[in-house]
Amino acid sequence: MNAPTASSLLDITPFAARRQRLLTRMAEAGGGVAILPTAPEVARNRDTHYPYRHDSYFYYLSGFREPGAVLVLVAGETPKQILFCREKDEEREIWDGFRYGPDAAREVFGFDEAWTLGEFDRRLAELLANQPLMWFSLGHDADWDARITRGLNAVRANARTGIVPPHSVRDLRAELDEMRLVKDAYEIDIMRRAGRISAEAHCRAMRATRPGCHEYEIEAELLHHFRRNGSQFPAYTSIVAAGANACILHYVENDQRIADGDLVLIDAGCELDGYASDITRSFPANGRFSGPQRAVYELVLAAQHAARATIRPGAHWNAPHEAAVKVLAQGMLDLKLLNGSLDAVLENGDYRRFYMHRTGHWLGMDVHDAGEYKLGGEWRPLEPGMVLTVEPGCYIRPAADVPETFWNIGIRIEDDALVTADGCEYLTEGVPREAADIEALMRDAHAA
């Protein structure tokens, strides 16, 4: 196989720019050295591993997807960007495929230096010596914590020569969380494409659904479309939940037969070049919403419209949730799922019986992406470039005090919203959302 080059794989400019930004932020905070390992490979059994997925923070700064790598950034007057990675090994490459090795990695990914991972421990002590701060995220990987501790102790062993280790540790992830929260143009372009592929996959899944087929057959349609379009993985385990299964929020068995009259809830999104998408649609397996299904569907859709309408720069994070809850709670009263006044239901939280999750989360490299939701105890204001999901739902389990006609209806509608200069844009417009549009798509599919 030919060695991949930077130009054949990715544009390294945004990655280099992010490293530069982090170095500036570190310098402003007192300088020091940042250490960021990628994710480990995880054995599934014997000599078989789970599909490898890089660490998001590491990838954000490096663009480097191989396992066995560490990024080190030295801030200050002579900043330095160093990659440690696996060495070239023609024998291993016959079995496991191409690896860059330090020389090519330095060249292609734009580092000042690159060394083999075997060099890391020895060089770590030198890198930490006399640095004012160490930027590292403790408590995520015991092996890495121990390795860093050994490095610090190696520096301390030289105390009599006047060499000292960093006097304090800063949380590197916390610094990167803030950067990751606002997406750059490169990221938005990938997220747009990821959203488009996932929307097409949902359309394909809707078209393929018939009463009598199994949930896993529909899951296969989604995965087929993701992979056919270059997505490396699903961003999370796809949920294909028919009938009562739609009331299980994290249902992933996907092994049941879909019955005539069932609603099918699909929550699925692809990961493309390291970025997640996250879409949910709920639709009737036979192509026609029943009366009660449509009533609940319209309620959830109205909640989503209300939530979306709040999203703009300066609005606070919780505004979409508050708007969705208000609509849902009023609808639950109108449908006689709840009793009392709107104010009382909002105050006492009775609506949580049928809507027990929040209306969204940050979206980016991780499906539940990095970033704080509050600043100084207050919901943080939205800014252009942030991406969040908008995903109200309503889940009605059988109960004596609930009209039977609504039993086992579980509905969620989820789209991915990019905050723009004056509002928001859905990255997932390509899959119908209005009930009539869903029915039209399925009518066409069933007629074909």
Residues in touch with ligand GLY (CB under 6 A): 236, 267, 278, 361, 367, 391, 414
Rounded to a whole number of angstroms, the distance between the first and last alpha carbons of the chain is 43
Task: Work out whether 416 is an interface residue with Mn ion (CB under 5 A).
Answer: no
How far CA 15 is from CA of 57, 76, 106, 115, 354, in Å, comes to 11, 20, 13, 19, 43
Residue 391: active-site member = yes
Catalytic residue among 200, 215, 267, 415: 267
Residue 47: active-site member = yes
Exposure string over 367-379, b if 16+ CB within 10 A, otherwise e: bebbbeeeeeeee
Residue 278: active-site member = yes
Positive/negative CA dihedral, 242, 245, 246, 249? negative
Residue 200: active-site member = no
Residue 77: active-site member = no
Q: Which is nearer to ligand GLY, 236 or 379 (CB)?
A: 236
Q: Which is nearer to ligand GLY, 210 or 361 (CB)?
A: 361
Q: Which is nearer to Mn ion, 282 or 293 (CB)?
A: 282
Footprint of Mn ion on 226-285 (CB under 5 A): 267, 278, 280
Q: In what order do the strands lie in the sheet with 275-276?
A: 233-234, 270-272, 275-276
Residue 414: active-site member = yes
Q: How far is the CB of 402 from ligand GLY (least distance, A)?
A: 25
Q: Which is nearer to Mn ion, 175 or 267 (CB)?
A: 267
Task: Work out whether 175 is an interface residue with Mn ion (CB under 5 A).
Answer: no
Element (H, E) at 416: strand 415-419
Single-letter code of the amino acid located at 14:
P
Q: Which is nearer to ligand GLY, 273 or 414 (CB)?
A: 414
Exposure string over 212-227, b if 16+ CB within 10 A, otherwise e: ebebebbbbbbbebbe
Q: How far is the CB of 206 from ligand GLY (least distance, A)?
A: 18
128 touches 134 (CB < 8 A): yes
Q: Indicate which of ligand GLY, Mn ion, none lies near residue 147 (CB less than 5 to 8 Å, by partner kind).
A: none
> What's 87's DSSP letter?
P
Binding region for Mn ion (CB under 5 A): 267, 278, 280, 389, 414
* Residues marked as catalytic: 47, 250, 267, 278, 357, 361, 368, 391, 395, 412, 414
